[in-house]
């Protein structure tokens, strides 16, 4: 769990419900990444998180780990950071998914909302929490779209990367964390 900024405690709590108490460690250095079987890149402010990842060498460690097949769950700002391109701002993306992202596509903090999504592979709708949420504008040919909202891609997967425009850690519904656990167990 990358722990520079954002919904760290909420993700830790959700992940521990799925993986077990004490199974989640907080990443603050490149060395921490090498011990992880799965990574979570949380929401927060993408420019700030991106700068901290680069300054502390964690960005390169994440790229290397994902290149080896280590699963990564990226939410909200994390989705922005795993992209190959961002529409605005000075975010330097990691290029882990063949997607282009529009930051804050759904508006400011005030325009935050919840919505029910039909998610590929889920047996019932998923209630998603969108906070200053991005949207995926373009998906490459190997990207699997998992959910859309109002005709816009809000959840996708490519190889070991699962990227969500919303915050699954803020709900009681742990299906995305379970999907992430399945990805970790498959390696």
CATH (domain of 23) = 3.40.50.880
Number of domains in the chain: 1
Residue 1 lies in a domain: no
pLDDT at residue 156, rounded to an integer:
98
Residue 3 lies in a domain: no
Distance between CA atoms of residues 34 and 123, nearest Å? 35
Q: Which residues are catalytic?
A: 76, 167, 169
Structural domain including 52 reads 8-185
Residue 178 lies in a domain: yes
Scored b (16 or more CB within 10 A) or e, 57-94 reads: ebbebbeebbeeebbbbbbbbbbbbbbeebbeeebebb
pLDDT at residue 6, rounded to an integer:
72
Over the stretch 111-159, which tens digit does the pLDDT of each residue have?
Answer: 899 999 999 999 999 999 999 999 999 999 999 999 999 999 999 999 9
pLDDT at residue 139, rounded to an integer:
98
Using DSSP, state whether 130 is helix, strand or coil: strand
Over the stretch 155-181, which tens digit does the pLDDT of each residue have?
Answer: 999 999 999 999 999 999 999 999 999
Residue 159 lies in a domain: yes
């Amino acid at each position: 769990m990358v722990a520079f900024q954002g919904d760290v405690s909420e993700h830790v709590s959700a992940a521990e419900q799925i993986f077990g108490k004490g199974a989640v460690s907080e990443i603050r250095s490149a060395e921490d990444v090498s011990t992880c079987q799965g990574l979570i890149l949380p929401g927060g402010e993408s420019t700030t998180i991106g700068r901290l990842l680069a300054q502390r060498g964690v960005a390169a460690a994440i790229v290397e780990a994902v290149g080896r097949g280590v699963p990564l769950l990226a939410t909200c700002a994390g989705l922005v950071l795993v992209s190959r391109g961002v529409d605005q701002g000075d975010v330097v993306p990691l290029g882990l998914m063949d997607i282009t992202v529009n930051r804050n596509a759904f508006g400011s903090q005030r325009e935050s909302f919840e919505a029910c999504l039909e998610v590929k592979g889920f047996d019932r709708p998923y209630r998603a929490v969108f906070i200053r949420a991005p949207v995926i504008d373009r998906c490459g040919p190997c990207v699997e779209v998992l959910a859309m909202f109002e005709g816009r891609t809000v959840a996708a997967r490519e190889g070991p990367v699962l990227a969500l425009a919303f915050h699954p850690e803020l709900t009681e519904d742990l299906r995305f964390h379970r999907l992430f656990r399945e990805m970790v167990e498959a390696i």
